[in-house]
Structure 1
Amino acid sequence: MKIASDILDIAKEKKIMIATAESCTGGMVAVALTDIPGSSAVIERGFITYTNDAKREMLGVHATTLEAHGAVSEEVAAEMAQGALARSRAQMAVSITGIAGPGASEYKPEGRVCFGLAFDDSVVTETIEFGALGRDAVRRAARDHALGLLLKSLCAD
């Protein structure tokens, strides 16, 4: 995957380590990056936090944030990314939380995915509505979008 290679090359050149915090993608971003030989120079660790308990225990997401906004929210994505930074030796972390499907709730449709990107003392978030493409397609789209966020951030410096 070309984008993953580009991320690794730029991060290595800039001496930036990356952590991932994934829910609905179940580690797909980490897999895309670690499929490439030499990725250990850049990938510090990955967290798969599928449940709310895992988000709280592994990443320090606040129960009050989960209760107020739900797991699929930019607020939770922000805390996931910040938690991944705080619990690793990475300088950049990307997070993903969403509804891959099938199924949705009255308030959150299938295909809604929230992303967080933390670096230094800042975090940026966004929500993408991929739509009801099917579980596999939503997960792949979320993986690719997260990789794009990493690349864009690395190129911005």
Structure 2
Amino acid sequence: MNIPRSVVGFLSSRGLVIATAESCTGGLIASLIADVPGSGACLDMGFVVYSPSGKCGVLNVQAQTIEEHGLTSEEVAREMATGVLALEACSAHIAVANTGIAGPPPKGTDLAPGTQCFAWRYKRRDGEYMFSETRVFDGDRTTIRQNAALYALSRIEHYFNQLPNARRRGP
């Protein structure tokens, strides 16, 4: 199964547009979407924000959230997804965010190598909905990043289908 092609087909068939806010994947989620012909109709924007100042300054992640939960946390991923959808220039219905570590964890943390935190935020007429997960991927840095990006994409339709009346009403 070609996950990026499937995601673009899903988004296009429903008239949905996506934005990404990426840290560890470094733009790979957006790149995988952009590789698919016709993706221009469903990819609005993508941000790569590695540093705390980038996360806070561009996506309005709260410094307190980073201090309390760490850069690799679902809380930060959730604020990244919220931040990208809140941007005035963003016309997306869905945001996917990722933050994690692809190598050995920083000193002083108990995170496993390959820990990845994700958030998916859906903006609809009846409100906004958020989902988040933490997963641990095995492999080298490149493999972890690739698998994390594919995983992030693979959950878009899954969580869409969990929205209230998702199949009937759409966004």
TM-score w.r.t. structure 2 length? 0.86
| Structure 2 match to 1:109 | 112
Which residue number corresponds to residue 26 of structure 1?
26
The whole-number CA distance in structure 2 between the counterparts of 1:20 and 1:139 is 15
Runs ≥4 residues deviating over 4 A: none
Q: SS of the residue aligned with 1:37?
A: coil
Is 1:125 equivalent to 2:128 in the alignment? Answer: no
Partner AA of 1:112 in structure 2:
T
Whether the aligned pair in 2 keeps the contact of 1:102 and 1:135 (CA below 8 Å) is no
Distance 1:150 1:32 in 2: 14
Query: How many angstroms does 1:130 deviate by?
Result: 1.6
Partner letter of residue 114 of structure 1?
Answer: C
TM-superposition CA deviations, 1:72-122 (whole Å, max 9, x none): 001001001111111111000100000001444432221110000001212
Q: Percent identity, please.
A: 38
Q: Distance in 1 between matches of 2:143 and 2:21?
A: 19
- CA distance in structure 1 between the aligned counterparts of 2:48 and 2:95, rounded to whole angstroms: 13
1:18 touches 1:90 (CA, 8 Å); kept in 2?
yes
State the TM-score, normalizing by the size of structure 1: 0.93
Rg larger for: 2
Q: Show the 5 A alignment for 1:136-151.
A: 136-151=142-157
1:9 Cα shift?
Answer: 1.4
Gap runs ≥5 in structure 1: none
**Structure 2: tracts of 5 or more residues without a match:** 167-171
Give CA-to-partner distance per residue, 1:55-82, whole Å, 9 cap, x none: 0111110011011111100100100111
- Paired letter, 2:148: A
Distance in structure 2 (CA, Å) of the matches to 1:20 and 1:153: 16
Contact 2:97 2:119 in 1 (8 A): yes
Contact 1:104 1:110 in 2 (8 A): no
Query: Amino acid of the residue matched to residue 97 of structure 2?
Result: S
**1:102–1:134: 8 Å Cα contact kept in structure 2?**
no
